[in-house]
Chains A and B, each alone.
Chain A
C-alpha cells in the first residue's frame, strides 16, 4: 500500500459526460501527479501540482483540468468524454517539487466511456 488513495476505483459513463476523479496523496507529500494509461497511448504524464499550484504540464487535453486543494487532495476533471478517454488514470505523490522525485502511485481509477 503506497499510501496514495484514489476514488472511485471504477467509473462507467457515456460519451459527452463529465466526471471527476479524486486523489489523496501520502501524508506529508506536497506534489500530486496525474497519469493516463490507455491501450492506444500507453502511459502518459498529464499534469503535476505542488502545494496547490500547477508545476508541470504534459499531454493533457483541453477538455481535462485538474486542481489541488488546500488540504492537498487533488481532482482531475474530464469533460465532453469520448470513447478514447477510456483508460486507467493514476495519481501519484511525492514530497518534492520536481517530476524527477520518487513518486508513489495510487491504485488507479479505471474509466470506461461507452
Chain B
C-alpha cells in the first residue's frame, strides 16, 4: 500500500526564517512520482513541483528547494527567507499505482 506522511501538522515561523516541510512516503512501486502542492487561504490548489523516482537531483526554484532522497524515502521542501505570502497548507503527494496525498502541513509566516 502507498502512504504519504507529513508529520508536521502546523509550523509557525517569523518572516525571513527558513523552514523545511517534511514528507516521507511508502511505496513498493519502482516507478513513481512525487509532488508538492500549495493551498493558500483562498482555497485553490497550486502545483509546485513534480519529481519522478529516477531523478534524485535536488531542485531549486527561487526561494523554494526540494530534497529528494530515495534512501530515506523522503521528499522535503524548504522555503528560504519565508514571506507572509508563503502562509498556506502544503501537501505532499505520491503517484504510483494510485494517487495518495499527505495530510498537509499548515505553515504560518508571521510578519
Additional A-B contacts beyond A99-B99, A103-B47 (10; CB < 8 A): A42-B102, A42-B104, A45-B98, A45-B99, A56-B99, A88-B43, A92-B45, A99-B33, A104-B47, A105-B46
The interface residues of chain B lying within 8 Å CB-to-CB of A108 are 43-44
B residues adjacent to A (C-beta < 8 A): 33, 43-47, 50, 52, 91, 93, 95, 98-99, 101-104
Complex: A107 Cα to B101 Cα, angstroms: 18
User: Quick check: A43 and B47 within 8 Å, CB to CB?
Assistant: no
Q: Which of B44, B47, B101 contacts A102 (CB 8 A)?
A: B47
A residues adjacent to B (C-beta < 8 A): 2, 35, 42-45, 56, 58, 88, 90, 92, 99-100, 102-108
A100-B50, A102-B50 given; A42·B44 CB < 8 A: no
Q: Which of B33, B44, B47, B99 contacts A58 (CB 8 A)?
A: B99
The interface residues of chain A lying within 8 Å CB-to-CB of B95 are 99-100
Instruction: Give chain A nearest CB distance to B66 CB in angstroms.
Output: 15
Q: Which of A43, A100, A107 contacts B44 (CB 8 A)?
A: A107
Instruction: Give chain B nearest CB distance to A42 CB in angstroms.
Output: 5
